[in-house]
């Protein structure tokens, strides 16, 4: 092992280019066998480093998104929920809807897989390094309410508005008073036609006036959410009940 090779290894390690260190020998052999130019060899070597950085950055995006679990589209049991169009969900996974700043609403009773599907699409987006964030509706409202009390509402709204994909889970499980509904409207209005939002809800749209305790605000929220949206209605049994029944067998 000559001194130049040792120095190169030392330099790469110092620069923390670990993938280049790991693949150096095979790349040198490949260069000699294929008679590659210096530029082509260096390009091949740096590709290993870039690929690993991309993987690590994607993992980091998934980690900071706040997902409740790491269930992906491949983990969804489409045979148990035949009302869900698999091809449609796979199309969501291509993220075309984000490029168009469109929304998705998953509507159905508790346990039918709304959160799983919303999360799995979010994970697909985060893996492609699309800024994504998951939050339950009640937590979102509480955070906005707290920010308003601390005179930093504008900053908090901008924080949630910046994500290219925001997933708001469980709208309708808890009532929202009029003041809080106005805060929620401000966020939806900020994102309208600029960013994509995925919403899960157990309540049909006619009852949103009761949820937000003001039909006018509810209609304004719905108008902005549904204007460029695909609504996926899931009709079926609860996965949790299915799992419970199977455990009793």
Q: Could you report the per-residue pLDDT of 79-130, keeping only the tens digit for each?
A: 999 999 999 999 999 999 999 999 999 999 989 999 999 999 999 999 999 9
Quick: pLDDT tens for 36-84: 999 999 999 999 999 998 888 888 889 999 999 999 999 999 999 999 9
Long-range contacts, stretch 150-154, CB < 8 angstroms, 24+ apart: 153/183
Round to whole Å and give the CA distance between 103 and 224: 10
- pLDDT of 245 reads 45
What lies within 8 Å, CB to CB, of 148 at 6+ separation is 183
In DSSP terms, 132 is beta-bridged to: 165
DSSP 3-state assignment of 169?
A: strand
Quick: pLDDT tens for 169-202: 999 988 899 999 999 999 999 999 999 999 999 9
Answer yes or no: CATH 3.40.50.300 is held by domain 73-248: yes
Q: Under a CB-based contact definition with an 8 Å cutoff, are residues 151 and 184 in contact?
A: no
Q: Radius of gyration over alpha carbons of the chain, in Å?
A: 24
Could you tell me the residue ranges of all domains in the chain?
Answer: 3-64, 73-248
DSSP 3-state assignment of 118?
A: helix
Round to whole Å and give the CA distance between 71 and 106: 16
Mode of pairing for the β-strands spanning 196-201 and 165-171: parallel
Round to whole Å and give the CA distance between 171 and 139: 11
- DSSP track, 74-106: GGS-TTT-TTS-HHHHHHHTTTHHHHTT-EEEE
């Amino acid at each position: 092992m000559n001194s130049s090779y040792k120095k190169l290894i030392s330099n790469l390690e110092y620069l923390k280019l670990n993938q280049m260190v790991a693949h150096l020998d095979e790349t040198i052999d490949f260069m000699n066998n294929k008679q590659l130019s210096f530029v082509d060899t260096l390009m091949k070597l740096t590709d290993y480093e870039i690929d690993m950085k991309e993987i690590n950055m994607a993992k980091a995006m998934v980690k900071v998104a706040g997902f409740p679990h790491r269930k992906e589209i491949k983990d969804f049991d489409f045979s148990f929920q035949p009302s869900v169009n698999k091809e449609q969900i796979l199309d969501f996974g291509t993220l075309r809807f984000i490029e168009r700043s469109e929304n998705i609403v998953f509507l159905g009773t508790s346990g039918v897989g709304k959160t799983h599907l919303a999360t799995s699409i979010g994970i697909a987006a985060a893996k492609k390094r699309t800024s994504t964030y998951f939050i339950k509706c009640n937590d979102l409202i509480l955070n906005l309410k707290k920010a308003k009390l601390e005179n930093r509402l504008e900053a908090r709204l901008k924080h949630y508005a910046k994500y290219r994909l925001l997933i708001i889970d469980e709208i309708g499980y808890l009532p929202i008073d009029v003041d809080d509904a106005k805060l929620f409207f401000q966020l939806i209005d900020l994102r309208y036609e600029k960013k994509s939002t995925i919403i899960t809800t157990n309540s049909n749209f006619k009852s949103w006036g009761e949820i937000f305790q003001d039909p006018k605000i509810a209609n304004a929220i719905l108008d902005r959410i549904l204007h460029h949206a695909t609504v996926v209605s899931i009709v079926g049994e609860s996965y949790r009940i299915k799992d419970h029944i199977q455990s009793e067998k």
